[in-house]
Structure 1
Amino acid sequence: MGTFKIIQFNMQFGQIWDEANPDGAPVDLKQTIAEIQRHDADVVILQEVEHAQAGGKQLIPPPNYSLISQALTGYHGYFSYPKADKRELPFGIGLAIFSKTPLYDLSKLELPSPVIEFDFYGETKTPTDRLLIGAKTKIKGHEVQLYNTHLLAFFMLKASSKIHTEQHRLVLEQIKKSRLPTVLCGDFNVSNHHALVEQFSLAGLTTAQNTEVTWRRMPYVLDHIFFDHHLKLIQRSVVPTLASDHHLVIAEFGFNAH
């Protein structure tokens, strides 16, 4: 039976975790790369690959993605920034998919954010748009659809994705179009993960795990590997790491016979 392993990792642009000073911790991309390499996954899905620049400037080529690509020899990669926006705050930005097998039919879908005002160090801000990227690959003779997303953290804005439903709706609309074995990874930024899991289950998606916390800053399950009925979960784990403020979620899948 052919199986494959996927890593889901919000890498926080390589900024390591320091309990005493989480926002001032240094960037150590070597630690990020070592953490990814040691698991030897077939597919690696990353969020917050780059550090957003002042005024929404986007560095081309993306420096972190370029270094990771060089280090992950034998992998094929796809990266995308979201739409450039002068309102971008100095956090992580950009999504990447890496696979040991070639990627094709690359896609991206902009996910508009609602106008919600919030305070950022005394200035009134509104959130920038988010992104869903996709790619197909062939694993163990099976064509597989991969998706990666990083949604707006409504709970950080004292709002709720139950009220602001557009990003979830757009993601699920895209997933429903797939007729292939499909995996959707990402940082979904939903504090009530039970509601998220229930919502996505109605679209035929199951999460690999929803019991272990994946974020160090608050005890939330933010990161998920969702999969559809074409796939069966063999094993999964949440792997604590100091290479980010998020842990890795790792899952191994087999293919269901149809």
Structure 2
Amino acid sequence: MARRFAISPHEYIAFQKYVNHSINKKLPGIIYINGFHSEMQNSRKVTHLINFCKNNNIDFLTFDHYAHGLSSGSFTDIFNVTIGRMYNDLCKIMKHETTNSQILIGSSMGFWLSLLVALKGEEQLRNRISGIIGIAPAINFTENILKEAKEKGLFLDESNTMSDCFYHRQSKYSPTGTYPISFHFLQESRNHLLDLRNLGSKIKLPIVLLHGKLDPDIPYEETLKLANALKSDLNDDVNDVKTILIHDGDHRLSKEQDLNLLDKEIIQMVNRFNK
């Protein structure tokens, strides 16, 4: 059952939480972070991970981003639907709803948000991240959407573009056939773009990247570039960056065989602390 975490007197983030009540509290918990326009309700990955965590005595937390699913807000509230807002909400819910170490599992945009916490979050949050798993990672994806919109004749003059302009992007995942993406969302996201040139020297965590070779939204080659960036010569343990390409995998990676593979990677990461 979803619960509410108050962000302000009139805003809240809806979340689901499972707490392991066994005596083994050394194991890190799991925070699952959805992608853009994805929700925890009716999500095969969320349902699977809840059952997986219960069966393995692992704490679990997931939530809906602002203006998503059961959380408050609307996509018409363009100045609040931003990467910065979603990053801050993730930090707040991690800080107030978890206490032990955590493995962050970020799907698509969720992986971008995970890296932002590992790079820019408060020290006490950064120190509690035990590892990160990316499912079809989509860091800096807003730049590709902005380029796409401009190719369609939108947002060509950024200095004169009204901040309330929307790009109604076609998507097979939307019941209406399109997703509204505001110019302000794309513009604000530039405050949070990650530079691949020095990424590996700043992150020293076990990282697993899962990507489908049939992903129509984010080419798997982008994950290969990301993996190489994370394996910087300045990184103490390059073997802690693992990339898995799934030959018949799509963007969501929610088929049973995909979820079973995710389980194996979680167990391997958790077992580092189960000694």
Say which structure, 1 or 2, has more relative contact order (CA 8 Å, 6+ apart).
Answer: 1
Higher share of residues assigned strand: 1
Fold equivalence (TM over 0.5): no
Q: TM-score, normalised by structure 2?
A: 0.36
Q: TM-score, normalised by structure 1?
A: 0.37
Higher share of residues assigned helix: 2
- Of structures 1 and 2, the larger Rg is shown by 2
